[in-house]
Structure 1
Amino acid sequence: MGRAAALADPANAWITRSDKPVALGEAGALSGLAFAVKDNIDAAGFPTTAACPAFAYQPTAHASVVQKLLEAGAALHGKTNLDQFACGLNGTRSPYGPVPNAFDPAYVSGGSSSGSAYVVASGQVDFALGTDTAGSGRVPAGLNNIVGIKPSKGLLSACGVVPAAQSADCVSIFARTVDVAARVLHVAMGYDPRDPYSRGLHLADTAWPAAFRFGVPSTLAFFGDRAAEAAFAESIARLEAMGGIRVTIDYTPLASAAALLYESALVAERYAAVRSFFDAHADAVVEPVRGILADGQAYSAADLCEAQTALRGYGQQAAAMWRDIDVLLVPTAPTHYTVAAMQADPVALNRNLGAYTNFVNLLDYAAISVPSTMRPDGLPFGITFIGPCGSDWQLADLGQRYHHSTGLTQGATGEALPPAQPIAGIKAASEVPMIRVAVVGAHLSGMPLNGQLTERGASLERTTETAPDYRLYALPNTVPPKPGLLRVAPGQGSRIAVEVWRMPAALYGSFVALIPHPLGIGTLSLADGSSVQGFICEPLALAGARDVSEFGGWRAYIASLQAK
């Protein structure tokens, strides 16, 4: 490898960078991709500083996750700046200088993975590793128009990573597209017995249905930033246009859990992470990091037990929301601050940046931040999708769908997004057992009961007609209005318009259970001679029903009523 040296970097994004990228010279899933790592992650040949020169040491081996990426063919270009000891969400708490925003240097980059986000957003590397304890893998992504994956805890090994709060730490991934970030996750994940918090996780591999339910907090704070507030409202509208169903959730237990991070004995874990160094060299730590770590010294073991119990309680309360939603939507950051404003009020403004991030790791959720829009002032605005532990691939799938609906370019490069790609961990449609079902009435596209199909991930395959052996009746006293389809003797029927939908077989039973008497499911003959499952009606239920076969289908019949 080449020489690793301190780099004169006007953006303060790099701490050390090699004059020859580190590569193993092997072809793999990440061949051709350049990457950087946050300087609290070990890479042999580079000092690890955690943005504290007095703390620096020379690792003899790569962190587990770095080794996996190199073995997959990616090339390491160097180590990036961060809020010291990964303690902060703004990118200004470093003796190597504040890292500016990639779009406007007067504004913060977000932290603590500030340098990693900047070098990705500016196009210097294809992806970068950060860490995330309270939002450090998401806030910089949201403020720089890039993607940030915060995996389920323990999915990526933290062996070779300087801890911040070890029970909550995650290695995070930045990229300009979800596809690249997901490919990196696929390579890097896996159980590692050398990491005490590593675990083997089963990740859900079926995408959420087209009519997914997304939660929105009952209370939202943007700290006076009307541009951010408007941008979030736009994101909600875009999700609804994609088929999402908005559900308001009680944000109280999430906010209460978030407050524990710095306002309870949980902060003692921050101190414990660097205890021996801090006790001997507190004067080498910059403020306000020094004050935060020092606060952790004041708590007793009993205080910590009480805080952990309170956290479990808030987690139990928050868990109820997953019965009503598939995914939680929040702003990645509720506002955007200048470097000058952050340095003038470093604690309160930093806390504001974490308003929607601090609870995620504490409650064992997964998350992905994706770009959403460019504000009128030219600054990026990002949103975060949060899901239960193990929902990483589902989050990536939804995140990619959303990102590609925005029309945004990649980071600060101005380059158009490439075509969306299948997410590595999501099963292709061909791998999911499907059942075809023909619908004839209220379940047709745009009709009142169509949501019973879309919420189960069903998709429209084609519009066609039955064989000429059926009669269609408008059933009396049904809400919403429903038809009955009856097979009749040859020569006495008509062709009736139907839609054929494909539904995951695992959800078909729950759909059939919703069908009310006298309707049911049987086998329909289609105009092309094929057969498919579809709606039928018991003959005895047609007493008093109107024969509407002359209209050729239910949609035409309903249109005739509306025209009167």
Structure 2
Amino acid sequence: MNDIRFDIASLRAAYQSGLGIAEVIDAVLARIDAAGDPGIFIHLATKEEILAEAEALGSFDPVAKPLWGIPFAVKDNIDVAGMPTTAACTEYAYTPDKDATVVARLKAAGAFVVGKTNLDQFATGLVGVRTPWPIPRNAIDPKLVPGGSSSGSAVATARGIVSFALGTDTAGSGRIPAGLNSIVGLKPTVGALSTTGVVPACRTLDCVSVFALTVDDAYAVFSVAAAHDAADPYSRAIAVQPLAARPPVLTIGIPEKADLKFFGDASMQAGFEAALKSLETLGARLVEIPFGDFYATADLLYEGAWVAERYAAIRDFFEANEAALHPVTRKIIGGARNLSAADAFRGLYALQAYKARLTPVIASVDLFCMPTAPTHYSVDAVLADPIVTNSRLGTYTNFVNLLDMCG
């Protein structure tokens, strides 16, 4: 059964033709074994647990339950009832008695959870190597980092173990690993998906994200999971619209040539240029935009307010268990101890000024097209220089959350 296609449309058609959900579960478990990668999952449900969850769905009904029989994985900073939540830190672990709101909505739509996936500890990183568990292997080239922080979710999806997976995205964690593993990563607007039951990183920026095999699948999952949640003070009632037909001419903003950054990666630059030519062939109008203010906005993420926010999220645990943290995570979050409230406000004021300048720029185009990441790094390169490589990976993602954009 390893030849079963796991995109939602294919699985739904297979169920319609008589495929049994037990066969899909067998395929999931076979693919986990075939991957031979102990770094993908931190916790796996047993076959008996998955079968029990599947049996509780009742008979196939894609109208009442649009995700009936669709297997998914959940990043291990998002609660699944009865499964431990670790945020990739054993000492932090707890077992919730209820699902995170997004998980509950997806289960209600018929999807079932396979397990909890690995991540950069406390969702701090874009590389996927800051974990006490084995590092998940990149699904395309195991010498490359898998990307983070949602490393396990991206790899599980890319390897066809699940149809989709949930991640989180605070600075690019739902997009970088998707790009590095050649799948779709959807980062919604802040508040579109509830973060109730999600271990916070930066609460003002955190988004639950979706990894999927196709754009249609990512949007289908988002459409089911999106809803206002009174329990989440950052939740917003954002109407989910059908995917719109493309207008006759799309105006697409791209970074000015002088502002493009690839850090010497000629193949990435060539790939981006080829993508732009494809857009022009489709009739899009490309508009070069100065990117200096976008990059300056991104730099704020590593300054006072948002480093302090990461510290605030786990302050009590950090102070009581500092030695339990991954060395790089400890260094980054611990740096907040040297910050003052004045530092935080300086960052907030700077962000507001950039928002004021960039709002008309953003409004001047239909959308932006830029690389997901400017270059790819090997695991060895990241371990040798964990800060600079991580920062470079976020070149085109860090400002998106700060400016309240989706991607």
Question: Fold-level match, TM-score > 0.5?
Answer: yes
Instruction: Kindly provide the CA deviation profile for residues 270-298 of structure 1, in whole angstroms up to 9, marking residues without a partner as x.
Output: 10111110011010000211011101222
1:104 corresponds to which of 134, 138, 141: 141
2:247 corresponds to which of 184, 187, 209: 209
Which runs of structure 2 are paired with 1:34-45 in the superposition (5 Å)? 34-45=71-82
1:245–1:162: structure 2 CA closer, same or farther, 3 Å change rule? same
Measured in 1, the distance between the counterparts of 2:226 and 2:240 equals: 11
Instruction: State the TM-score, normalizing by the size of structure 2.
Output: 0.86
Give the CA deviation at 1:208. 4.7
Secondary structure, counterpart of 2:46 in structure 1? strand
2:317 corresponds to which of 271, 277, 281: 277
1:164–1:273 contact (8 Å) kept in structure 2 = yes
> Following superposition, which runs of at least 4 residues in structure 1 exceed 3 angstroms of deviation?
202-208
2:126–2:149 contact (8 Å) kept in structure 1 = yes
Measured in 1, the distance between the counterparts of 2:195 and 2:402 equals: 16
More strand by share: 1
Alignment match, 1:198: 235
Alignment match, 1:260: 300
Instruction: Kindly provide the CA deviation profile for residues 417-449 of structure 1, in whole angstroms up to 9, marking residues without a partner as x.
Output: xxxxxxxxxxxxxxxxxxxxxxxxxxxxxxxxx
Instruction: Kindly provide the CA deviation profile for residues 194-228 of structure 1, in whole angstroms up to 9, marking residues without a partner as x.
Output: 11110112456654512100011121111111010
Instruction: Kindly provide the CA deviation profile for residues 307-344 of structure 1, in whole angstroms up to 9, marking residues without a partner as x.
Output: 11100111111112134311011100111111011100
Measured in 1, the distance between the counterparts of 2:387 and 2:321 equals: 22
1:100–1:109 contact (8 Å) kept in structure 2 = yes
Secondary structure, counterpart of 1:30 in structure 2? coil
Alignment match, 2:331: 291
Aligned: 1:186 with 2:223? yes
Give the CA deviation at 1:47. 0.2
1:203–1:31: structure 2 CA closer, same or farther, 3 Å change rule? closer
Measured in 2, the distance between the counterparts of 1:67 and 1:323 equals: 35
Secondary structure, counterpart of 2:114 in structure 1? strand
Instruction: State the TM-score, normalizing by the size of structure 1.
Output: 0.63
Secondary structure, counterpart of 1:137 in structure 2? coil
Which runs of 5 or more structure 2 residues have no equivalent in the other structure? 1-24, 26-31
Measured in 1, the distance between the counterparts of 2:291 and 2:276 equals: 17
Q: Which letter does structure 2 place at the counterpart of 1:209?
A: P
Aligned residues with identical type, % of pairs: 49
Measured in 2, the distance between the counterparts of 1:207 and 1:277 equals: 48
Measured in 1, the distance between the counterparts of 2:349 and 2:239 equals: 27
Give the CA deviation at 1:132. 0.1
Measured in 2, the distance between the counterparts of 1:19 and 1:202 equals: 37
Aligned: 1:233 with 2:273? yes
1:157–1:198 contact (8 Å) kept in structure 2 = yes
Alignment match, 2:127: 90
1:13–1:116 contact (8 Å) kept in structure 2 = yes
Aligned: 1:17 with 2:44? yes
Alignment match, 2:29: none
1:91–1:108 contact (8 Å) kept in structure 2 = yes
Aligned: 1:335 with 2:344? no
Alignment match, 1:50: 87
Alignment match, 2:210: 173
Give the CA deviation at 1:266. 2.2
1:153–1:169 contact (8 Å) kept in structure 2 = yes
Measured in 1, the distance between the counterparts of 2:181 and 2:38 equals: 14
1:11–1:100 contact (8 Å) kept in structure 2 = no
1:247–1:324 contact (8 Å) kept in structure 2 = no
Instruction: Kindly provide the CA deviation profile for residues 426-473 of structure 1, in whole angstroms up to 9, marking residues without a partner as x.
Output: xxxxxxxxxxxxxxxxxxxxxxxxxxxxxxxxxxxxxxxxxxxxxxxx
Instruction: Kindly provide the CA deviation profile for residues 220-277 of structure 1, in whole angstroms up to 9, marking residues without a partner as x.
Output: 1111110100000001001111111000112111111100001333210010111110
2:37–2:136 contact (8 Å) kept in structure 1 = no
Measured in 2, the distance between the counterparts of 1:221 and 1:129 equals: 29
Alignment match, 1:60: 97
1:36–1:116 contact (8 Å) kept in structure 2 = yes
Measured in 2, the distance between the counterparts of 1:187 and 1:142 equals: 24
Secondary structure, counterpart of 2:271 in structure 1? helix
1:101–1:109 contact (8 Å) kept in structure 2 = yes
Measured in 2, the distance between the counterparts of 1:70 and 1:288 equals: 35
Measured in 2, the distance between the counterparts of 1:212 and 1:337 equals: 33
Alignment match, 2:351: 311
Alignment match, 1:128: 165
Q: Which letter does structure 2 place at the counterpart of 1:277?
A: F
Measured in 2, the distance between the counterparts of 1:134 and 1:71 equals: 29
Measured in 1, the distance between the counterparts of 2:248 and 2:137 equals: 38
Alignment match, 1:381: none
2:223–2:240 contact (8 Å) kept in structure 1 = no
Alignment match, 1:361: 401
1:245 corresponds to which of 277, 281, 285: 285
1:36–1:156: structure 2 CA closer, same or farther, 3 Å change rule? same
1:321–1:207: structure 2 CA closer, same or farther, 3 Å change rule? farther
2:156 corresponds to which of 100, 116, 119: 119
Which runs of structure 2 are paired with 1:149-160 in the superposition (5 Å)? 149-160=186-197
Give the CA deviation at 1:55. 0.4
Give the CA deviation at 1:58. 0.7
Which of the two has higher C-alpha Rg?
A: 1
Secondary structure, counterpart of 1:366 in structure 2? coil
Aligned: 1:143 with 2:180? yes
Instruction: Kindly provide the CA deviation profile for residues 139-170 of structure 1, in whole angstroms up to 9, marking residues without a partner as x.
Output: 00001110000001100000000001011000
1:111–1:136 contact (8 Å) kept in structure 2 = yes
Determine which structure has greater relative contact order: mean sequence separation of CA pairs < 8 Å that are 6+ residues apart, divided by chain length: 2
Which runs of structure 2 are paired with 1:499-510 in the superposition (5 Å)? none
Question: What is the root-mean-square deviation in Å for CA atoms of aligned residues?
Answer: 1.6
More helix by share: 2
Q: Which letter does structure 1 place at the counterpart of 2:251?
A: R
Alignment coverage as a number of residue pairs: 362
